[in-house]
Every structure is written in structure tokens, then in C-alpha cells.
């Protein structure tokens, strides 16, 4: 059984898109809507294709990745394709990932911490029913 996610045959379809020739309409016609859009100086459209299958019994049926393709398209303000980068499963191993981390600046009693705590409480108990139940139990 093969599970497919994203745009099928992405590698084959992306070859029909040409830098400085293809526009947004051509891209949508060939690939459909992007998996992800980002807005910087130019539009950045990301298309994903992933195929997985169940591995053999010795691996306890874990999913094995057959294909993992990513297409990154940069589109200028006029709607023309300015840059096209295609990454396959082998290219993913070559990408360097930063080892540096950022520190969490949320400290107890800070405004952001208090705000996020109150939002979490409102999400988990929007009508305040739990507080009312606790009050009834304590009065008994």
C-alpha cells in the first residue's frame, strides 16, 4: 500500500515551468495551488510530494519514505517565476540545519506569561464551568 501526499509527479511537472517565462497562472495550471505560501520581497510558493509505503515485517510495519520532493518557487511582483529550486530525498540529507537555539523569554509573572495562561484557561474552560463545580464541592 502506498500513501501519497501532495502534488503527484512533482519532479516531472516542474520541468515544464521556465524561469522568467512562466507566470502564476501557468504554475497553478500545471501544479495546482501551493502547499504553502510565504510573503517576503517576492512571493514564495512551496509544493510538496511525499510517497510512503509500509516496510517489511522485520521493521514492524513502519512507514518507509519512497519519495520526498519539495519545489520552492519565487515569484516577483509582476507574477513571473524568478527562481525555481527542486529538492529530492537525497538533497534533503545535504541541507545543513542550524544547531543554535533561541532562549525562551517567557518568565513567570511577565505580562506575556500571564496573558498566555489566561488564554489557555479560557480555551480549556470557556464558560467557567470547572470553577463553579469546584466551588460547589468545597461548600458541601
Share of the chain above pLDDT 90, in %: 7
pLDDT band at 91 (very low <50, low <70, confident <90, very high): confident
What does pTM read for this prediction? 0.60
DSSP string, 85-133: EEE-HHHHTT-------------TTSHHHHHHHHHHHHHH-TT-HHHHH
pLDDT class of 68 with cuts at 50, 70, 90: confident
Among 48-52, 68-72, 86-90, 126-130, which stretch is predicted with the lowest mean pLDDT? 126-130
DSSP state, residue 77: T
pLDDT > 70 in the chain, percent: 70
Is 53's pLDDT higher than 70? yes
| Spatial CA neighbour of 69 closest among 53, 37, 100, 92 | 92
Amino acid at each position: 500500500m502506498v500513501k501519497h501526499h501532495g502534488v503527484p509527479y512533482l519532479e516531472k511537472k516542474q520541468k515544464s515551468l521556465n524561469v522568467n517565462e512562466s507566470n502564476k497562472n501557468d504554475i497553478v495550471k500545471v501544479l495546482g495551488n501551493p502547499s504553502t505560501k510565504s510573503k517576503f520581497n517576492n512571493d514564495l510558493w512551496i509544493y510538496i510530494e511525499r510517497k510512503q509505503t509500509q516496510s517489511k515485517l522485520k521493521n514492524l510495519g513502519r512507514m518507509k519514505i519512497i519519495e520526498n520532493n519539495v519545489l520552492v518557487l519565487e515569484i516577483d511582483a509582476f507574477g513571473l517565476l524568478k527562481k525555481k529550486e527542486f529538492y529530492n530525498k537525497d538533497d534533503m540529507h545535504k541541507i545543513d540545519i542550524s544547531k543554535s537555539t533561541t532562549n525562551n523569554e517567557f518568565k513567570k509573572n511577565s505580562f506575556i506569561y500571564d496573558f498566555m495562561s489566561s488564554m489557555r484557561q479560557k480555551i480549556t474552560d470557556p464558560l467557567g464551568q470547572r470553577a463553579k463545580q469546584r466551588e460547589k464541592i468545597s461548600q458541601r
